[in-house]
Amino acid sequence: MVKVLARINIDEFYSEIKKAYESLKGVVYNTPIDFSNTFSRLSGGKVFLKLENLQKTGAFKVRGAYYKIRSLPKEKLAKGVIAASAGNHAQGVAYAASVSGVRAVIVMPETTPASKVLATKSYGAEVVLHGRIYDDAYRKAMEICEKEGLTFIHPFDDPKVIAGQGTIAIEIINSLPKFDVILVPVGGGGLISGISIAIRKVFGKNVRIIGIEPEAAPKFKISLKHGKPVVVPSKPSLADGLVTKKPGNLTFKIVNELVDEVVTVSEDEIARAMFLLLERGKLLAEGAGAAPLAALLSGKVDVKGKTVVAIVSGGNADLTTIYRVILRGLSLERRVIKLRAILKDVPGTLKEVLNIVASNRGNIVDIKHDRFSLKAGPGYAVVELIIELLNPEAKDTIIKEISKLGYRVEIIE
């Protein structure tokens, strides 16, 4: 990594994190740090999960938002605060303002799901819907901010916000005084900045700090190569909370100086991690929260023989996303497969195939029978089967036995 000239004052920043820690007592949850037998076995390390998905508002964002608001002078508190967000920051600011007795205006894109709008309103915030994307909402927020004299609460590039997020590290250190690696999801960089400062102050270089971001928005990975924050084209991602086009100026400095590595994870890797957290860990995590585990399970971070902490940063995943993730997870685990076969279009042929599936304890989820496909010759039909398997190894047996009947069969990805 290319080092910047101005170095971070770790002592000063850490002092601020400790102040934030005291300030947040009784306001936010000291969330559990949970040892996972399953993920330890799958990764070869000793894996602990820091469960910020169980935090108030469902994510870590309330920490930085509350500490920033609490730090404002009385004259600014009297006028109120404003933020632009379509996600966890909106709810974090709304809740923090509510418990502080401060007016909050949240500008959200018009495309924001109704559930998130209602959740933000439920914390007492005034919601303004404007524009199609975050950038539109941000510009509107700055317009209102200037007109009404409100204080803008930045989602990540602010020392007080960073200090609030850093309190997570203090909780981890208090519960787990020795570990080797910490994996942190990276959006704008506020979370990993606060955590990195606390870790470096307490452990120096003895703990490896690794940031995780989606391949759809590799802003830190690319910016670190350039030695400065750069704008990176982004795509939609399951980890939508990590999709920003550019790192913050302050957060880039901190990450550049203190973080060992930033790695990226694919959408399938994120989906699999969400699925396994739900099925094995009984934990609902949004894509951003599952990203560290995705890096762990994919082998992109080697933790064999090491103690590792993965930050599950939030659990605000909507039900339609969870539905898609479950289906994709079942497919990735080969628990649900889709087969295509070209069969003779005569009575009894399909029954033979279904008997093979049943004898291997497969459950038919769906059947599509197409006599008009150009892939099938006269007297044949294309049949597609979606099959739920109790044993993933049964896939090969089913394909082999159907092939023995003289039919061409293939897996559809």
For the segment 24-34, the average pLDDT, to the nearest whole number, is 96
Q: Inform me whether the pLDDT recorded for 19 exceeds 50.
A: yes
Are residues 210 and 295 in contact, defined by beta-carbon separation less than 8 angstroms? yes
**Residue 70 confidence class, pLDDT cut points 50, 70, 90:** very high
Average pLDDT over residues 395-399: 91
Quote the CA–CA distance of 91 and 123 in Å, as a whole number.
Answer: 7
**Are domains 81-149 and 335-411 of this chain identical in fold?**
no
List, as own/partner pairs, every contact residues 28-34 make where C-beta atoms lie below 8 angstroms and the sequence separation is at least 24, other chains included.
28/55, 28/56, 28/62, 28/63, 28/66, 29/54, 29/55, 29/56, 30/171, 31/55, 31/168, 31/171, 33/171, 33/172, 33/175, 33/176, 33/309
pTM of the complete model: 0.88
- Distance CA(55)–CA(48), nearest Å, equals 17
Burial of 354 (0-12, 13-18, 19+ CB in 10 A): middle
Statement: residue 374 has pLDDT above 80:
no
- pLDDT recorded at residue 13: 95
Please report which helix (H) or strand (E) contains residue 325, including its range: helix 319-332
Domain-wise residue ranges, the chain? 10-60+159-330, 81-149, 335-411
Class of 10-60+159-330 per CATH? alpha beta
**Tens of pLDDT, residues 247-293:** 999 999 999 999 999 999 999 999 999 999 999 999 999 999 999 99
pLDDT at 2: 39
pLDDT of residue 6: 61
Check if the beta carbon of residue 160 is closer than 8 Å to that of residue 71: yes
Q: What is the CATH number of domain 81-149?
A: 3.40.50.1100
The span from the CA of 365 to the CA of 351, in Å, is 15
Helix (H, G, I), strand (E, B) or coil at 386: strand
Q: Which residues are catalytic?
A: 61, 313
Using DSSP bridges, classify how beta strands 362-370 and 380-389 pair: parallel, antiparallel or unpaired. Answer: antiparallel
Amino acid at 9: N
CATH code for residues 335-411: 3.30.70.260
Say yes or no to pLDDT of 207 above 80. yes
Give dist(CA 408, CA 399) in Å, integer. Answer: 9
User: Is residue 92 scored above 50 in pLDDT?
Assistant: yes
